[in-house]
Structure 1
Amino acid sequence: MTRVIDSAGSAYFGEAEGLLRAMRLEEALESYALAERSGHDPDACAGGRWMCHMLLGRYERAWEESDAIAARCKPDRHRFWDGKPFEGRRVIVRCLHGLGDTIQFIRYAPLVRERAKTLIVEAQPALKRLIEESRVADAVITWGEREPEWDQQIEIVELPRIFRTTLETIPAKIPYLDLPAAAPIAAYDGATDLKVGIVWASSSYNPARSIPLKQMARIFEAPGTAFFSLQAGAERSELALWRDRIVDAHTDERCVVPAAATLKKLDLIVTADTMMAHLAGAMGRPVWTLLPFHCDWRWMKRGEDSPWYPTMRLFRQPRAGDWESVVDRLQAAIEETIKGRRLVPPGDPGAQAT
């Protein structure tokens, strides 16, 4: 009998996972519940429901799922918080996920700092200097460096749950990461066109987030634009076909500060779901993020705006793999933006860029 129940639970769970990928979230929730009732791993089912609730913007329901998982005390290498308040304690926030996760959730540092005796951030090497210069913590270290004494440790992705974040209470004051001053960069300061930074490829972790550069080719012909590639990695080789239209503005990947300085010189950033989207959003730069149909929870299922980043606009695939529709809307939006930069209609003797 147990094997029959487990088999049914696995079948329901597989069905739920497929519904989640199809973004049929209410149906997925029902199937996860059936899977758990049929004997499937309750933590796996709760994790699936968590994802559905986050995509639907029901953060309170998602935290209830997180609470249930924590109450079962299953070992979790990402769980550091001891459940106790920060008040009067020396707190260290460890950044053990991706660069984008750190950039998104470092916004909580001031809230921790208000309560803790001291706040230490252990960040990835590439982010250490930017976080230091943004002055959101009492001390910033990176992996392998000597740690100041601390009483309590937290992994940075735990912070939204610790503060029981809802859509209405997301700390969205921007910029929360910034540079005190950015040195002039001649290639940008001398351009009068709409200066657009582009990133088209995400990491190999999720290839569905990447858009082939050739599918974006038609936007590079828009008059009154200058394009600057911020792309990192092997995908930079794709620039060879467009060197007459795109400047390679890639900077040292070992530190994001040069990239941040570049963002301050651009009028717009168009990017796949990458660290650069988070960096631009955290700095309050205008950023358009191109999303696959089955997107990450932080972008939710619907909408063109993001409660996490007020200056971000989202361009979503209407169906899996359909980047052409995304580029159609992107091209129209760029053309509309170019028109909006003029004080008088093009062709008028007095026409000039704003």
Structure 2
Amino acid sequence: MLRNITWIIGLSRSRAQIEGKPWVRERPWSVGYAKDNVNFSHHFVVAEQLLGERRIEEALAEFDFAEREGHDPDLCSAGRWTCMMLTGRFEAAWRESDLIAKRGKPDPHSFWDGQPCYGRRVLIRCLHGLGDTIQFVRYASLLRGIAASVSIEAQPLLKELLGLSGLADHVFTWNEPEPAWDQQIEIIELPRVFRTTLGSIPARVPYLFAPGGPGCAADSGFRVGLVWCSSAYDPARNIPLELAGQLCSLAEVQFHSLQADPGRAGLQRCVLPIQDVYDPSGSVIAAARSLQKMDLLITVDTMMAHLAGALARPVWTLLPYQADWRWMLDRDDSPWYPTMRLFRQTSSGDWQGVIDRVRNELERHCQTVAGLADVSTVERGSAAPGSVK
């Protein structure tokens, strides 16, 4: 099974990362390991430092050294797993997951028994974040092609959207009666179930749908949705509103806030030309319908980035230097979302450089759109007599 790697290597970030310094993941005893039962390794500490600096091959060698010294093998496998996913070597990552599963240490977020899904009634449980569910629920349609039936136990906020998208035979949420099943899988295990490679990611979009949302007026201008804060899970992903607000100097763009709480509170104290269109109920289906009215979403790494990608909406995702494994290294695109562009920090904590690049690209994009509109107007003006303009 694909173990919950984030659970193994820690759910929080160190203060050094929050302050924009190189990140070393939390020591094992901070995530539930008994200090007296862990053989601490200098090589493991060095490996994590190298991984934080994105010196991948050196980090891999140090994780190997650490395991040979007797350091917790699951932690070493988890470190190698992250290295492999960052560099697109998915097959090697799944082999690390196989090793973790074989060792059999209890994992409360792992359910797959390793058996094939053919002809079985499969229940997908969603125990991670909303973004994880949105990213990996694409695999439900693949499961339906081989399983007898597929049901999804979704987070309450996602139940309606997943039900409307027709990805499973049945969608329900926590504390609701669950259908009969033969096999259960946690949603983040699905890429490993299918032994996904970089070339076999099921990347056809859209795979989520939110029918019924009102359209935009034809003269509503170029509309950009903006999200500048992620959850408290990783503050290093957040951009100060004052910095993100530098984008709003582009007069030809209408900016709309899709920011959730608590980051939304700052909007009330600023004088930036940003219209707040966030639904305070937190409804994901409402957010999806708002996204369908936008020409572009500019967002940090949060659920909204995944939602826009799954809806096939144009989205620019702004990433910290030590970005999550799913965004890989040095790419300005995502193999998971064809309509997404990535803008990365080139050094830890440097959001100003990211905002400068985004502003330049947005200005260039608006000029291109305006140029196309001018060409269209000229073509209509030179139409044959009697044609409708």
State the TM-score, normalizing by the size of structure 2: 0.84
Match of 1:292 in 2: 320
For 1:19 and 1:95, how far apart are their aligned partners in 2? 32
Provide the C-alpha distance between the structure 2 equivalents of 1:201 and 1:274, rounded to a whole number of angstroms: 8
SS at 2:343 equivalent: strand
**Cα distance in structure 2, aligned partners of 1:350 and 1:240:** 43
How much does 1:244 deviate? 5.2
Query: 2:13 corresponds to which residue?
Result: none
Aligned length: 342
Contact 2:162–2:208 (CA<8 Å) still a contact in 1? yes
SS in 1 for 2:338: coil
2:48 is equivalent to residue 17 of structure 1: yes
Alpha-carbon spacing, 1:339–1:46, altered in 2? closer, same or farther (3 Å): same
How big is the shift at 1:254?
Answer: 4.1
1:65 aligns with 2:93: no
**Structure 1 unmatched runs, 5+:** 1-5
**Structure 2 spans left out of the alignment, 5+ residues:** 1-36, 381-389
Deviation by residue 1:137-178 (Cα, 9 ceiling, x = unmatched): 000000000011111100000000110001100000100001
* TM-score normalised per structure 1: 0.93
CA-CA distance at 1:89 after TM superposition = 1.1
Amino acid at match of 1:80: F
Alignment CA distance shift 1:237-1:180 (3 Å): closer
Contact kept in structure 1, 2:122 and 2:181, CA below 8 Å: yes
1:86 aligns with 2:117: yes
Q: 1:332 to 1:89 in 2, by over 3 A?
A: same
Q: 1:58-98: CA deviations, max 9, x gaps? A: 10110110011111111111210111111221110000000
Amino acid at match of 1:33: D
Counterpart-to-counterpart distance in 1, 2:330 and 2:165: 32
2:183 to 148, 152, 157: 152
Q: 1:66 is matched by which residue type in structure 2?
A: S
Residue 171 of structure 1 is matched in structure 2 by 202
Partner of 1:327: 355
Distance 1:276 1:7, change over 3 A: closer
Q: Who is 2:341 aligned against? A: 313
2:173 corresponds to? 142
Kindly provide the amino acid, as one letter, of the partner of residue 273 in structure 2.
Answer: R
Code of the aligned partner of 1:68: L
Letter of the structure 1 residue corresponding to residue 292 of structure 2: K
Give the CA deviation at 1:297: 0.4
CA contact (8 A) 2:248 2:272 kept: no
Aligned to 2:105: 74
2:306 is matched with 278
SS for the counterpart of 1:341 is helix
Whether contact under 8 Å (1:344, 1:351) holds in the other structure is no
Task: Establish whether residue 250 from structure 1 lines up as the match of residue 281 from structure 2.
Answer: no
Between the aligned residues of both structures, percent identity stands at 53
Say what the alpha-carbon RMSD is for the aligned residues: 2.0
Question: How far 1:292 sits from its partner (Å)?
Answer: 0.2
Q: Can you list the C-alpha shifts for 1:290-330, whole angstroms capped at 9, x where unaligned?
A: 00000000000111000000000000000100001101110
Aligned equivalent of 1:343: 371
Instruction: Call closer, same or farther: CA 1:351–1:315 in 2, change over 3 Å.
Output: farther
Identify which range, 215-224 or 146-155, moves more after superposition.
215-224
